[in-house]
A and B are shown apart, each in its own frame.
Chain A
Amino acid sequence: EIVLTQSPGTLSLSPGERATLSCRASQSINNNYLAWYQQKPGQAPRLLIYGVSSRATGIPDRFSGSGSGTDFTLTISRLEPEDFAVYYCQEHGSSSYTFGQGTKLEIK
């Protein structure tokens, strides 16, 4: 089973700044089944990115995903106040699905 490690655990930034979140896999993800979610307190997660770099329906273009193999990145180009939340990466391997432990993006 693949283990996903997200870094940093907490990221403190200001609105308007650029955010770069990392997700590292314990084994190569060769099928591009890598997704990112945003979760706010008391809400269900929301799909942002699937297939490494495809934005989900309705997701603003300030969100972008990239990477390959074992290293993946979610970038938020210019932070808006509503972007401060917890972000999870997720992969789909053979008959299983795994989430990273999350990165909390907080207002500096």
Chain B
Amino acid sequence: QVQLVQSGAEVKKPGASVKVSCKASGYTFYLHWVRQAPGQGLEWMGIINPSGGTPTYAQRFQGRLTMTSDTSTSTVNMELSSLRSEDTAVYYCARDLYGSGSFDIWGQGTMVTVSS
């Protein structure tokens, strides 16, 4: 059973960047990042193939979001720059259920707080 384990909570100041990691215990075709602001719904951010290739980002994050992978450690990283208070959220990585357009395994979530 694949497990996704994310890095710990972060507190950042406005304008800073944050990097959240997601380590997979087994093979994953694609990994997504999804975020959830406090008391709000789910928002898709982007998708990456951990084995390589160009990530795809949701349009609203273009220019601020960077996803990378490290195949030697089976880790995918999500970096969001120019943080603002509205980026305060729980950030999840989630495995793509291949061929279904859905997410079948989720990380535990990483709380990112942006506050001056």
Contacts and interface: CB of A to CB of B under 8 A. Distances in A.
A53 B104 CA distance: 15
Contact of B103 (A47, A57, A101, A102): A47
Contact of A99 (B41, B100, B104, B108): B41
A97 B100 contact: no
A12 interface: no
B67 to A, nearest CB: 14
B44 interface: yes
Contacts of A92: 101-102
Interface string B92-116: 1010010011111011110000000
Interface residues of B, number: 21
Interface string A55-96: 011000000000000000000000000000000101110011
B58 interface: yes
A88 to B, nearest CB: 6
The DSSP consensus for interface residues of chain A is strand
B101 A91 contact: yes
B85 to A, nearest CB: 21
A92 to B, nearest CB: 3
Given A97-B101, A102-B42, 7 more contacts: A33-B102, A35-B100, A37-B103, A45-B42, A51-B100, A51-B102, A54-B100
Interface of A: 31, 33, 35, 37, 39, 44-47, 50-51, 54, 56-57, 88, 90-92, 95-102
Interface of B: 32, 41-44, 47, 56, 58-59, 92, 94, 97, 100-104, 106-109
28 contacts: A31-B101, A33-B100, A33-B101, A33-B102, A37-B42, A37-B103, A39-B42, A44-B106, A44-B108, A45-B92, A47-B97, A47-B102, A50-B100, A50-B101, A50-B102, A50-B104, A51-B102, A54-B100, A56-B97, A56-B104, A92-B102, A96-B44, A96-B59, A98-B44, A99-B42, A99-B43, A102-B41, A102-B42
